[in-house]
Amino acid sequence: KPTEAPVGKRGGGGQIRLLYWQAPVILNVHLANGTKDYHACRICMEPLADFDSELEPVLFLASEYPSVANKTLDPDGKWCIWKLREDVKWHDGEAFDADDVVFTFQYITNGENAATTIGRYKTVDTVEKVDNYTIKVNFKESTPAWYDPFTTTEGCILPEHIYKDFQGSESRNAPANLKITGTGPFKVREFRPGDVCLYDIFEDYWDPGKPHLDSVEMKGGGDSVGAARAVLQSGEADWAWNLQVEPSVLNPMEAAGIGTVSALPGGGTERLMMNFSDPRTEVDGQFSHFGTPHPAWSDVRARQALAYLCDRATIAEQLYGKGGLAATNQYDEPAKFTNKELTAEFNIDKAKALLGEMGFTGAEILYQTSINSVRQKTQEIIKQAMESVGFKVQLKSVDAAVYFSTDAGNPDTAGKFYADLEMHTNGSGIYPAQWFERYRGDRISQKENGWTGSNAFRYSNPEFDKMHDQCRIEMDPDKQVTLFQAMMKLVTETDVVEVPLVNRTGLSAKGNKIEGYIGSPWAATPPWELKHWTLKG
């Protein structure tokens, strides 16, 4: 595991160049809304613990992982005790302690701050400071995912002394949102939102001999093909994240021999999402208002027809290659929480029959996603099938920095969903209760919550909410599996909230100079492990 690496010399390893074709726009993980922002934050911020590819905990700001044996974990999941490192400094030299963890909880759960990570903490009743380096998390009821708060990227800790004066209406105006003070191995030197973030080594980092690298450049923008080329052909970058490049383009690049394509399981599922509200009707200063049913997707038969119109096998084979497989579930990891009974069928005749039943006479559809060659080709494949049965489809592609942003003033964000269809990827967590928040009726993205609600579909079903309430507290492993499988069937097959297209394997381009790569589908790879990396030659 990463923490077991031998102690070496701190620094002297040069600069690592990371290329992200989606550019980060904010450095406060608790106000972020996109993976590229989470990664930019994770380079300089840390949680209490993260998880490796075997789901084993890797400690960061915690000195001990809670356990029943050590009497730091309640067998019924009603509380846990975290012991913290006593040798940690913030990048400005201030000491890290329990007050920062308690404050982070208060910050996230302050509704006026509109924290995007709130789902992780809804099960928590209180967070107590036991002493300067011990905290106790008390849950409202039995909580199977007791390890969710303060772990992985969404568990990164904020410095109280910096953020205490920037809350409520001032939360998004904090200067630290663009130059965060963290505890990580690298500190922010300069951040240009939508362009680049530069980091320097933190000489007082708590882990002896780490990091080896002197600096990090996280460059954003461009496109996926260009990012792959920069690592695999020109050598202008050392690592390119989240490649969505057709095999016919990617394979010749890799043949150049200066880098390799790295495939990490659990890369998330590319999905086609339906808007249950009308994006063309304005109510109270917003479109896609929850109170305006969508003229087509409000009928489940139209949604079922759309699922039949998605040729997932062709999309996976021709556009993703080893980067993905045709999907039947909304996520593929953890595998035990997927529903093996779900199937994917491409059948235009069945789609026509369903539309005929409902008296369908055609509909204009706006179908949006981020700018990316694979996504645009996926759009074309699905558009062709939809237009063969009477839909008139307009395709829209939005710059990724805009599409995945949380800018409440921009109409083109995924969270606002001012379209009929949209398409992108995200992945589940170790215990996917929080991931399933995206379908809850009380998490609908609207003007009132700054469009930060995770339910951008505007879907609402009390039956789902009831099952989700239970999965939050269910401690029996077998019953957990039953609940997650039932919820998966409800949102995928019964109600057809979104259509899973491709289970992605998380392709990245890795330069041959990189040593120390580990990878984990549960952690922000590579930011969580950069302190272990070296560049040879």
Return the CATH number at 468.
3.10.105.10
Pairing of strands 215-220, 196-201: antiparallel
Answer whether residue 68 shows pLDDT above 80: yes
Whole-number average pLDDT of the chain? 94
| pLDDT, tens digit, 9 for 90 and up, residues 242-275 | 888 889 999 999 999 999 999 887 778 999 999 9
Q: Work out the pLDDT band at 4, boundaries 50, 70, 90.
A: very low
pLDDT of residue 119: 85
- Pair 92, 86: CB distance under 8 Å: no
Answer whether residue 164 shows pLDDT above 80: yes
244 inside domain: no
239 inside domain: no
- Both 316 and 292 in a single domain? yes
Q: Work out the pLDDT band at 133, boundaries 50, 70, 90.
A: very high
CA distance 223 to 390: 33
Tokens 């400690």 belong to residue: 59
DSSP for 77-110 reads SSEEEEEE-SS-B-TTSPBP-HHHHHHHHHHHH-
pLDDT of residue 265: 79
- Both 482 and 514 in a single domain? no
- Pair 418, 279: CB distance under 8 Å: yes
Q: What is the mean pLDDT of residues 104-109?
A: 98
Per DSSP (E only), the strands in 76-224 are: 79-84, 124-131, 134-139, 186-192, 196-201, 215-220
Per DSSP (E only), the strands in 291-348 are: 324-326
Tokens 């995770």 belong to residue: 454
pLDDT of residue 51: 94
Angle subtended at Cα 510 by Cα 507 and Cα 511, rounded to the nearest 5 degrees: 160
Q: What is the mean pLDDT of residues 422-433?
A: 90
- Both 529 and 412 in a single domain? no
CA distance 418 to 403: 11
256 inside domain: no
- Pair 195, 2: CB distance under 8 Å: no
- Both 523 and 415 in a single domain? no
pLDDT of residue 3: 43
* Alpha carbon separation from 18 to 43, 178, 236, 238, 413 (Å, rounded): 11, 19, 10, 6, 25
- Both 444 and 518 in a single domain? no
CA distance 280 to 298: 14
- Both 412 and 484 in a single domain? yes
Task: Kindly state the tokens that stand for 347.
Answer: 């059948």
Pairing of strands 239-240, 79-84: unpaired
pLDDT of residue 7: 62
Answer whether residue 285 shows pLDDT above 60: yes
235 inside domain: no
- Pair 78, 135: CB distance under 8 Å: no
Other Cβ atoms closer than 10 A to 92: 11
Q: What is the mean pLDDT of residues 463-471?
A: 97
CATH number of the domain that residue 68 is part of: 3.40.190.10
- Pair 220, 21: CB distance under 8 Å: yes
Sign of the C-alpha dihedral computed for residues 63, 64, 66 and 68 taken in this order: negative
Contacts 24+ apart (CB under 8 A), 54-57: 55/334, 55/430, 55/522, 56/1, 57/147, 57/151
Q: Work out the pLDDT band at 136, boundaries 50, 70, 90.
A: very high
Q: Work out the pLDDT band at 2, boundaries 50, 70, 90.
A: very low
| pLDDT, tens digit, 9 for 90 and up, residues 114-127 | 999 998 899 999 99
- Both 154 and 273 in a single domain? no
- Both 498 and 531 in a single domain? no
Element (H, E) at 511: strand 507-511
- Pair 32, 452: CB distance under 8 Å: no
Helix ranges, 255-311 (H)? 300-308
Total domains, the chain = 2
- Both 421 and 454 in a single domain? yes
226 inside domain: no
Q: What is the mean pLDDT of residues 75-88?
A: 98
CA distance 524 to 519: 9
338 inside domain: yes
Structural domain boundaries enclosing 514: 2-217+507-535
- Both 30 and 156 in a single domain? yes
150 inside domain: yes
Helix ranges, 265-410 (H)? 300-308, 312-314, 348-357, 373-387, 400-403
Tokens 């998490």 belong to residue: 443
- Both 475 and 522 in a single domain? no
Task: Kindly state the tokens that stand for 346.
Answer: 């491409």
Q: What is the mean pLDDT of residues 72-86?
A: 98
* Region of residue 337 (left: phi > 0; alpha: psi -120 to 50; beta: else): alpha
Answer whether residue 326 shows pLDDT above 50: yes
260 inside domain: no
CA distance 520 to 280: 41
Tokens 């990091």 belong to residue: 211
Contacts 24+ apart (CB under 8 A), 434-440: 434/119, 434/120, 434/145, 434/148, 435/331, 436/468, 436/471, 436/484, 436/487, 437/119, 437/468, 439/464, 439/468, 439/487, 439/491, 439/497, 440/464, 440/465, 440/468
Report the chain's C-alpha Rg in angstroms: 23
**252 compared with 407, residue with greater pLDDT:** 252
- Both 388 and 525 in a single domain? no
Selection from 242, 265, 239 nearest residue 53 by Cα: 265
Give strand pairing partners of 369.
Answer: 397, 423
